[in-house]
């Protein structure tokens, strides 16, 4: 249950955690949710202090959240009507953990489905932050902003619609939707990796990944094969997720390891995942056969990753998950076995701290 809850009619949630040297367990955690009473919460495990909770504007929808700078600064991004709003917040861990919402910035007046990410090593004030969303005007269909903690953001920047794939024929999408972002740092270099659903030849396909250097230049595109046709009727419900934490620069190119990124996506009650560096990229279904599955989330830490999703294995909506080590997923499932009566979207965070 979210801190201070229950909260009715929640559809989307978010979570993050970061290194906090003044916190008892060296970690600070943040959460966000929408529904009838949207809000954010800040929690310091081991402090003995209850979570600090603040409300977001009524109508805030599909939020995502990050925290950094030793647990004292963060951002939450959300839809408000067709506005994409970036809202900063601050806190003072661990004893005087007073959560405070700061200024809000409207990134777009005609957007949907925002997501935000930060570089893993976020104890410094200059840490990179990026936000991606769908532009409903259609040209361009995906945009992003980049910035740092406690600074202004640069944008909107365009994610190129066509580039040279690594392992598939070139495919130019008429429309792209439901983007997610993974931000990777190598030394002082930053790579933005975007995943999304695309539309071509009257079929909505799985998703693809653009590698974008921080100079906004495309340096590669990976389209996984085989494609997974997605129903046009449920396109907006299919939201691919991406996370990763390792990239190697071997001049003049970047080398992507198995954990450079992992993508998970749902299709027809199946939960698929695939890796960046697989020699023969393919999708692996990890859901329990014959059970309901929707809205997976993923987090990567070193050589390990966790994927969770909503499932009805117990005859009710609950959380199911599994661990991936390298490229192999565990045969053992992590069963939340909780009775969820409203909403079924989850976010897992195991960022390095």
| DSSP letters spanning 118-180 | E-S--SSTT-EEEEEEEETT-SSSEEEEEEETTS--EEEEE--S---BSSS-----SEEEEEE
pLDDT of 343 > 50? The answer is no
User: What is residue 119's predicted lDDT score, i.e. its pLDDT?
Assistant: 83
Longest CA–CA separation in the chain, Å: 57
User: What is residue 342's predicted lDDT score, i.e. its pLDDT?
Assistant: 39
C-beta separation of 43 from 28 below 8 A:
yes
Q: Between 339 and 73, whose confidence is greater?
A: 73
pTM: 0.85
Average the pLDDT over 156-173 and give the result: 62
Q: Which of 17-21, 144-148, 269-273 has the lowest mean pLDDT?
A: 269-273
Average the pLDDT over 62-80 and give the result: 94
pLDDT tier at 351 (50, 70, 90 boundaries)?
A: very low
pLDDT tier at 260 (50, 70, 90 boundaries)?
A: confident
Q: Is 3 buried (19+), middle (13-18) or exposed (0-12) by CB count in 10 A?
A: middle
The correct CATH number of 1-158 out of 2.60.40.420, 3.50.50.60, 2.120.10.70, 3.40.1280.10 is: 2.120.10.70
Dihedral through CA 71, CA 75, CA 76, CA 82, nearest 10? 180
C-beta separation of 75 from 65 below 8 A:
yes
Every domain of the chain and the residues it spans: 1-158, 163-353
Q: How far is CA 350 from CA 99, 120, 132, 243, in A?
A: 22, 10, 21, 10
User: What is residue 181's predicted lDDT score, i.e. its pLDDT?
Assistant: 92
Looking at the chain, the whole-number percentage of residues with pLDDT higher than 90 is 29
Measured from the Cβ of residue 208, the count of other Cβ atoms closer than 10 Å reads 23
Tokens linked to 326? 């390298």
What is the total residue count of the chain? 353
Q: What is the pLDDT of residues 298-339, one digit of tens each?
A: 988 777 889 999 888 877 778 888 898 877 888 888 887 655
3-state helix, strand, coil in the chain (%, to 5): 5, 55, 45
For 71-99, the DSSP string reads GTEEEEEEEETTEEEEEEEE---STT---
User: What is residue 54's predicted lDDT score, i.e. its pLDDT?
Assistant: 94
Q: Between 327 and 352, whose confidence is greater?
A: 327
pLDDT of 88 > 50? The answer is yes
Measured from the Cβ of residue 213, the count of other Cβ atoms closer than 10 Å reads 14
Contacts of 203 (CB under 8 A, 6+ apart): 227, 229, 230
C-beta separation of 191 from 210 below 8 A:
no
pLDDT tier at 73 (50, 70, 90 boundaries)?
A: very high
Q: Tell me the range of 58-62, 272-276, 306-310 where mean pLDDT is highest.
A: 58-62
Dihedral through CA 334, CA 336, CA 341, CA 347, nearest 10? -70
pLDDT tier at 253 (50, 70, 90 boundaries)?
A: low
User: What is residue 132's predicted lDDT score, i.e. its pLDDT?
Assistant: 96
Q: Between 93 and 108, whose confidence is greater?
A: 108
33: nearest Cα among 264, 340, 352 = 340
pLDDT of 251 > 70? The answer is no
pLDDT of 228 > 70? The answer is no
User: What is residue 166's predicted lDDT score, i.e. its pLDDT?
Assistant: 45
Looking at the chain, the whole-number percentage of residues with pLDDT higher than 70 is 69
Q: What is the pLDDT of residues 3-51, one digit of tens each?
A: 667 788 998 999 999 889 889 999 999 999 999 999 999 999 998 888 9
pLDDT of 108 > 70? The answer is yes
Q: Which of 114-123, 156-165, 202-211, 321-330 has the lowest mean pLDDT?
A: 202-211
């Amino acid at each position: 249950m979210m801190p201070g809850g229950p909260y009715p009619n929640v559809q989307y949630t978010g979570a993050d955690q970061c290194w906090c040297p003044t916190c008892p367990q060296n970690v600070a955690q943040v959460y966000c949710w929408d529904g009838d009473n949207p809000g954010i919460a800040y929690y310091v495990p081991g402090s003995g202090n209850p979570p600090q909770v603040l409300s977001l504007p009524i109508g805030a929808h599909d939020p995502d959240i990050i925290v950094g700078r030793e647990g004292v600064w963060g951002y939450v991004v959300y839809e408000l009507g067709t506005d994409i709003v970036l809202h900063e917040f601050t806190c003072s861990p661990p004893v005087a953990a007073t959560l405070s919402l700061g200024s809000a910035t409207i990134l777009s007046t005609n957007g949907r489905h925002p997501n935000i990410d930060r570089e893993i090593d976020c104890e410094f004030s200059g840490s990179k932050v990026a936000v991606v969303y769908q532009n409903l005007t259609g040209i361009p269909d995906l945009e992003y902003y980049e910035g740092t903690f406690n600074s202004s953001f640069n944008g909107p920047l365009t994610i190129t619609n066509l580039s040279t794939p690594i392992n598939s024929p070139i495919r130019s999408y008429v429309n792209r939707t439901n983007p997610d972002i993974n931000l990777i740092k190598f030394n002082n270099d930053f790579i933005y990796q975007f995943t999304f659903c695309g539309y071509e030849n009257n079929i909505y396909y799985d998703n693809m990944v653009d590698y974008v250097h921080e100079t906004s230049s495309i340096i590669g595109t990976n389209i996984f094969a085989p494609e997974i046709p997605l129903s046009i009727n449920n396109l907006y419900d299919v939201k691919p997720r991406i996370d990763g934490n390792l990239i190697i620069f071997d001049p003049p190119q970047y080398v992507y390891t198995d954990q450079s990124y992992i993508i998970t996506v749902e299709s027809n009650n199946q939960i698929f995942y695939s890796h960046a560096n697989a020699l023969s990229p393919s999708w692996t279904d990890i859901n329990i056969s014959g059970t309901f599955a929707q809205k997976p989330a993923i987090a990567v830490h070193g050589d390990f990753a966790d994927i969770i999703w909503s499932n009805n294995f117990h005859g009710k909506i609950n959380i199911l998950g599994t661990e991936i080590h390298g490229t192999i997923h565990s045969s053992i499932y992590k069963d939340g076995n909780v009775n969820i009566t409203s909403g079924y979207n989850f976010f897992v965070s195991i960022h390095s701290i």
